[in-house]
Amino acid sequence: MSRANADRLWVGGQLLLFAVLIVTAVFAPHWPARLAVAIAGIALVLAGGFVMLWAGRTLGSSLTPFPSPRGAHLERGPFRFVRHPMYGGVIVLLTGAALITGPLALAPALASIPFLLLKARYEERLLAEADPGYSEYLGRVRKRFFPGLL
């Protein structure tokens, strides 16, 4: 399979997860005690959105939904702490959205973790091929999504 086709499959998988979350959020039952859960959800959506914006601004013109690299790896901004802050932000934002809407929406939100982990591994292979300094970066920045966690 070509790299372009693989890139399209990864982005298609992400879009499918987002679509399932939206469908479950709209049509599935909502949380019974909504206020406290909704407040936590809003906080997570804001935190995830902030991390995504920070990572996106740091990436600049290299920002793309596709895993194929569009330049050398970065070691500034949130990339000093984790290798894939955008993916971490997506996970936090989706989990927050699920908390705002309903329990069934947690399934696609939590499914995004192994999906994005696999996508990150694929992306890291491509980055290691394209950027000789990436291997050293992997040694310095150990976590993929969340500092001290994952």
In the chain, where are the structural domains located?
A: 3-140
The rounded mean pLDDT for the chain is 93
CATH architecture classification, 3-140 = Up-down Bundle (1.20)
Residue 148 has pLDDT above 90, yes or no: no
Please give the backbone phi and psi of residue 141, each rounded to the nearest 5 degrees, phi first. Answer: -110, 100
CA nearest to 38, candidates 105, 107, 96, 106: 96
pLDDT of residue 39: 95
Q: What pLDDT was estimated at residue 136?
A: 93
> Taking 90 as the threshold, does the pLDDT of residue 40 lie above it?
yes
Res 91: pLDDT? 97
What angle (nearest 5°) sits at the alpha carbon of residue 111, between those of residues 106 and 115?
Answer: 155
| Closest C-alpha among 43, 111, 51 to residue 84 | 51
For the cut 80, the answer to whether the pLDDT of residue 13 exceeds it is yes
Query: In 3D, which of 109, 107, 78 has the Cα closest to residue 93?
Result: 109
Which pLDDT score is estimated for 1? 83
> Of residues 34 and 16, which shows the higher confidence score?
16
Tens of pLDDT along 54-80?
Answer: 999 999 999 999 999 887 788 999 999
- How high is the pLDDT of residue 150? 76
C-alpha pair distances (Å), 16 with each of 9, 48, 53 = 10, 19, 22
Tell me the average pLDDT across 95-100: 94
Q: How far is CA 99 from the centre of its chain?
A: 17
